[in-house]
Every structure is written in C-alpha cells, then in structure tokens.
Amino acid sequence: MAIVELTLCPLGTGTTSASKYVAGAQKVLQKQDKVKYMLNPMGTVMEGDLDDIFSLIRELQESVFNTGIQRVYSIIKVDDRRDKKASMEQKLRSVKEKLDDDK
C-alpha cells in the first residue's frame, strides 16, 4: 500500500487563489471509493494501491483542465513501503509516540 501526497497548481488562472480548483478535485475524490484520502492545507494525501492512485491523479489533473485551464503543475510525493503495512494514521501515530517519549 502506498501513501502519496499530491499538490495541483493550476497556472494562468489570473488569480492567486486555488481553492476553486481544490474544491473541484475534492469532488472527484468524493465520487470514488478505491483510494482513501485526506485534504491538508498544502495538498491531498492518498492511501491505497499505487496504480489506483496514479489513475486518480490523472483524473484530478483533468478536473482542473476541464475548467479551461491550459497548464497544471503537479507535485507528487510517493511513499511506497514494502517491508510493513503503512497508513496515514500509522505514520502520524509513530511521530506522536516519539514526541510523547521525550516528555
């Protein structure tokens, strides 16, 4: 199972705001059930099969192009761990445990 963070940056929008495009991408995410996702202030983290995630990323890019935008810059970070099962929650829990150990 992979954990992927995606940030979509529409270029040439005429404004510094991207929330309209983020909302459109979130609607695409809400309509699917293969990939778990979590919106954060700087992007969206997804968890699932890597092929499903890459396919979904393409759909998310298309959701921005479908608004009339001619260029989308995408930043993708992939954590594809094979030695043990990983999840978004597990990664957060692991850091929190280490913070608690320092108390």
Count the Cβ atoms, other than its own, within 10 Å of residue 57: 19
Computed over every residue of the chain, the mean pLDDT equals: 94
Can you tell me the distance from the alpha carbon of 30 to that of 47, in angstroms, rounded to the nearest whole number? Answer: 14
> Does the pLDDT of residue 56 top 80, yes or no?
yes
Please tell me the pTM assigned to this model.
0.89
Position 84 scores a pLDDT of: 87
Q: Is the dihedral of CA 48, 50, 55, 57 positive or negative?
A: positive
What CATH fold (topology level) applies to the domain 2-101?
Alpha-Beta Plaits (3.30.70)
Average pLDDT over residues 10-34: 95
Q: Rounded distance, CA 66 to CA 63, Å?
A: 5
Look-up of token digits 């992939």: 78
Q: Are 55 and 49 in contact (CB under 8 A)?
A: no
